Amino acid sequence: MKKISEIKFLVYTTVFGVLWGVFEMFIGTYLHLLNVPLRGAFMAGAGSVILCVSRFYVDKPGATLAMGMVAAAVKMLSFGAFKLGPVGGIIIESLIVEIVLTVFRLNLFSVFSACLLACLEGVPHFFATNWIIYGGDIFGAYLDVLKKISAIFGIKTEFYWKIIFLWVSAHLLIGSLAGLAALSVMRKLKNER
């Protein structure tokens, strides 16, 4: 019986990990080429749904993180070139979902929370990735550009805070929708059992 459980673990983590990786490889690259706003949040939402649904099949600690590693490996084969941001995002998102689903077990609260937090990860991810790639001085350069734009167009500082609020709110909305989608799929799977 233990052998069957191990085989099930390997098969499901590989299949769902490859599914997520191929989705990232094709759709993620396409969204990047089109320069779609919030593409990272959309991809995190789709990935978190795949992770939560796959955990329904293999509800074991480590399964979600294993799927994330498979997806990251597939994403490294992506068209164009290797990109640190998406690969790092995949690993961090799978780690977040792993922690939430392991600590709180698989239930309505944990699935919704895992999707929400995975999408919200994009906010600090943006700052961390920019700092790693461009160095700490990049934020000073960003602020200088904003000051010049503000001076030219007469934009007040409050405007930028509203933009940040909308950006974070959009991540929360996408995460909530992903959570509802994951719950909907899992309800259907439970009914079919």
Which distant-in-sequence residues (6+ apart) come within 8 Å of 27 by Cβ? 43, 46
Q: Does residue 89 carry a pLDDT above 80? A: yes
- Residues 140-182 pLDDT 10s: 888 788 888 888 888 887 888 888 899 999 999 999 999 999 9
Is the pTM here over 0.85, yes or no?
yes
Which runs of consecutive H residues, i.e. helices, occur in 76-137? 84-104, 108-120, 122-134
Domains contained in the chain, CATH given: 2-192 (1.10.1760)
